[in-house]
Structure 1
């Protein structure tokens, strides 16, 4: 049966991050939500935005915590904490708790959705490799699962900043001519929503999710943005250490006290991107959405409209 948003309890981890922030506005009809965050600030913000939801500030790296979070949950959307040194173990604990809650089909859990990443086979990137293990674990768990594998987010590019600054400069952490496939967060959120609501239709599925029909390098992406804004955006390539610091700053809000294992993952990803990029195919996403996916220029125009 499809989901019943009027009665089902939906658990979302990393609920203050980019993916959940794009999804939550699509879920006003879900009457029972448990949103898991990592900071008191995020908890306060989400409680204000979604007063009907239960918002919990907790550390996912705990078997006790994960078991408590899944209590009475009918569907789990597990978004792992990016670059966390124990992201794999957190995924294992969430799945173990879900297996107990599912109880071979006799328990309250009905669906486990894992947000992963495009091409987890790319073991040279630690942030991909750790998700590969979690994918294997959920496939072997006996749970009714769906695995979503999004590519690089268009929304990581700061359109409001480019609009505000008179002479904007974009500093990239890798070769700006390397080709990438991109996804718009609004496409990802719509796809997640369909998987949530349609439920059984998506059991045992793995969906590589890409929006763009053609690959777009970061240099091309910035050029498209500049053309749409009617201004020149300078593109520079940061030195390696600066690129790592910038990525840590984006993920953690600081460069101080970041676990070296998290920095290792950032370093590996930057080196891989500098030579190979990340490329996929939009067919699966467009099938899932039932429409053409958002193309890069269209996404830029949409964000410009929202800012204005």
Structure 2
């Protein structure tokens, strides 16, 4: 049975992050939304943007808080807090709360959608490994689930910032020569919506999600952007410790005072990407979308167009 946006209660965790922010505008028909956030500023912002939603400021690292969030929920999109020292445990708690709510099919919970990561088997990266064990936990839970596994987001690249700079610079945290597969958040959000609405068609599926048809190094990506904005982007690689700090600042707003266990995650990821990159295949995503995926050059064009319209 498909979802019923007029009646079903949808819970989204980490609802102020990149994934949910791009998804929420596609859910205008969804009458009952519960959005879980961590900070008061996120709560205020989302409540103003989505006045009909139940926006809950909460700490997910709590079984009772997870259970309270799951009350009367029919479908949940669980996006774990990236680099959180207890991301895996939070995933377990959300799944435990969902199992209680599902009650072997007699309860309110009908579908658990897990946002994971491409190639979660790569245990050398701690942010992949914690998602891997959450995937295993949900597979053994008895819940009707779908696992989405997106790759690196194109949208993390600040094209519009480059356009505003006289001499744009890109300082990479890892090698600019290793190959990556990327995904546009536009494509990912459409997959979320499709899986959400079609429900049973996607039970027990794992979907590796990639937009780009060919692999792309960050050096090649900067060359494409340079050609489209008419400015040469100066490309360099940050020293290792500076690279770690830059990742932490992007995630937490600061590098000083961040839990060492979160620093460990950033350090492992940078070392892995500096040697190996991250690659996958676009076939599954295009099958889900029923259209060609967004290619990097087209995505850059869209960002350039958005910035041009502001002038």
Distance in 2 separating the partners of 1:58 and 1:38: 5
Give 1:40 deviation, angstroms: 0.6
* Residue of structure 1 in register with 2:14 after alignment: 14
Distance in 1 separating the partners of 2:226 and 2:49: 33
* Residue of structure 2 in register with 1:58 after alignment: 58
Distance in 1 separating the partners of 2:106 and 2:254: 45
Whether 1:173 and 2:185 are equivalent positions in the alignment is no
* Residue of structure 2 in register with 1:35 after alignment: 35
Give 1:257 deviation, angstroms: 1.6
Give 1:92 deviation, angstroms: 0.1
* Residue of structure 1 in register with 2:122 after alignment: 122
Task: Say which SS state the counterpart of residue 271 (structure 2) adopts.
Answer: helix
* Residue of structure 2 in register with 1:280 after alignment: 280
Once the two structures are superposed, the pairs formed by residues 1-308 of structure 1 within 5 Å of their partners are 1-308=1-308
Distance in 2 separating the partners of 1:169 and 1:240: 18
Distance in 1 separating the partners of 2:27 and 2:96: 27
Distance in 2 separating the partners of 1:307 and 1:205: 38
Measured against aligned partners, the alpha-carbon deviations of 1:238-260 in whole angstroms (never above 9, x if no partner) come to 00111011001111111122110
Distance in 2 separating the partners of 1:168 and 1:210: 28
Distance in 1 separating the partners of 2:232 and 2:216: 18
Distance in 2 separating the partners of 1:54 and 1:30: 12
Distance in 2 separating the partners of 1:229 and 1:135: 41
Give 1:186 deviation, angstroms: 0.3
Distance in 2 separating the partners of 1:226 and 1:35: 38
So what's the TM-score if we normalise by structure 1?
0.99
Distance in 2 separating the partners of 1:254 and 1:197: 38
Task: Say which SS state the counterpart of residue 180 (structure 2) adopts.
Answer: coil
Question: Gaps spanning 5+ residues in structure 1: where?
Answer: none
Task: State the 4+ residue runs in structure 1 displaced beyond 2 angstroms.
Answer: none
Distance in 2 separating the partners of 1:299 and 1:258: 33
Distance in 2 separating the partners of 1:202 and 1:73: 19
Give 1:144 deviation, angstroms: 0.3
Distance in 1 separating the partners of 2:44 and 2:112: 27
Measured against aligned partners, the alpha-carbon deviations of 1:190-215 in whole angstroms (never above 9, x if no partner) come to 00000000000000000000000000
Measured against aligned partners, the alpha-carbon deviations of 1:65-119 in whole angstroms (never above 9, x if no partner) come to 0000000100000000000000000000000000000000000000000000000
Task: Say which SS state the counterpart of residue 223 (structure 1) adopts.
Answer: helix
Number of residue pairs matched by the alignment: 308
Distance in 2 separating the partners of 1:307 and 1:103: 49
Question: Gaps spanning 5+ residues in structure 2: where?
Answer: none
Distance in 1 separating the partners of 2:90 and 2:257: 21
Distance in 2 separating the partners of 1:122 and 1:143: 25
Distance in 2 separating the partners of 1:273 and 1:162: 23
Distance in 1 separating the partners of 2:221 and 2:263: 26
Distance in 2 separating the partners of 1:236 and 1:229: 19
Q: CA RMSD in A?
A: 0.5
Distance in 1 separating the partners of 2:34 and 2:183: 26
Distance in 2 separating the partners of 1:47 and 1:160: 27
